[in-house]
């Protein structure tokens, strides 16, 4: 069996991260409140991306819209961080969450740039995560990230899903489902 290269490992980490998105906010060690499944995946993805870049003499930036998208993410991240720094508000962790989103997006883009053949595997991970997120929301699982005891069950008439917030559920599904539909349509025709 062939051993995976570091760029391929980064692709596998990105796929696993996407598939386990419903567990993103789950605390791994109660004593380390900042260590969640999602943050552990960010560290693992960053490490595999750095290992994949190590020793390369040149790195090609994505052309066209990929470059614009990465630039926009970096600019938006700097704008949000600058606003938080000047206004003194992290808005109950929303700035950190946006920072995680920017980090995941940029690191995943670099992982695909290093090993383009991993893109379909990452898309499968996104699909698995979206289906799990939607199914858990439909059966009423709310706030899967609860650090103590079983997941809460939603008593409201709004779908909140495993991240415990209907806006986060909507954001994840609104990004994942159209992407999966596009990939499906391209494969068929």
Give me the residue label for tokens 């000047």.
86
* Position with higher pLDDT, 147 vs 42: 42
Does residue 19 belong to any structural domain of this protein?
Answer: yes
For residue 148, is pLDDT > 50?
no
What per-residue confidence (pLDDT) applies to 187?
A: 76
Residues 6+ apart with CB under 8 A from 26: 36, 37, 144, 145
Residues 6+ apart with CB under 8 A from 8: 115, 117, 118
Helices (H) and strands (E) in the chain, counts: 6, 2
Does residue 58 belong to any structural domain of this protein?
Answer: yes
Does residue 102 belong to any structural domain of this protein?
Answer: yes
pLDDT band with cut points at 50, 70 and 90 for residue 1: low
Of 113-122, 130-139, 177-186, the least confident: 177-186
pLDDT band with cut points at 50, 70 and 90 for residue 92: low
Contact 27, 35 (CB under 8 A): yes
Q: Tell me the residue range of the domain where 175 lies.
A: 6-188
Does residue 1 belong to any structural domain of this protein?
Answer: no
pTM: 0.80
What mean pLDDT comes out for the span 153-179?
A: 76
Of 10-24, 103-117, 126-140, 174-188, the least confident: 174-188
Does residue 178 belong to any structural domain of this protein?
Answer: yes
What mean pLDDT comes out for the span 63-89?
A: 79
pLDDT band with cut points at 50, 70 and 90 for residue 94: low
Read off the pLDDT of residues 18-62 as tens digits, 9 standing for 90 and up: 999 888 888 888 777 678 889 999 999 999 999 999 877 777 766
Token reading at 82: 């600058």
Per the structure, the count of domains in the chain is: 1
* Position with higher pLDDT, 25 vs 93: 25
Does residue 20 belong to any structural domain of this protein?
Answer: yes
Token reading at 77: 């991240």
pLDDT band with cut points at 50, 70 and 90 for residue 170: confident
What per-residue confidence (pLDDT) applies to 156?
A: 61
Question: Mean pLDDT in the chain?
Answer: 81
């Amino acid at each position: 069996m062939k051993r995976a290269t570091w760029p391929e490992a980064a692709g596998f980490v990105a796929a696993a991260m996407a598939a386990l998105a419903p567990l993103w906010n789950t605390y791994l060690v109660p004593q380390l409140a900042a260590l969640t499944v999602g943050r552990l995946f960010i560290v693992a993805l960053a490490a595999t991306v750095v290992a994949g870049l190590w020793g390369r003499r040149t790195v090609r930036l994505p052309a066209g819209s990929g470059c614009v998208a990465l630039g926009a993410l970096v600019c938006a991240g700097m704008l949000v961080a600058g606003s938080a720094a000047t206004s003194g508000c992290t808005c109950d962790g929303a700035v950190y969450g946006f920072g995680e989103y920017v980090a995941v997006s940029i690191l995943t883009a670099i992982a695909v740039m290093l090993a383009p053949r991993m893109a379909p595997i990452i898309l499968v991970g996104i699909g698995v995560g979206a289906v799990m997120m939607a199914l858990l929301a439909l059966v009423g699982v709310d706030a899967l990230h609860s650090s103590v005891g079983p997941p809460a069950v939603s008593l409201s008439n709004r779908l909140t899903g495993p991240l415990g917030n209907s806006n986060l559920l909507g954001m994840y599904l609104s990004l994942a489902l159209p992407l999966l539909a596009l990939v499906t349509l391209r494969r068929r025709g």
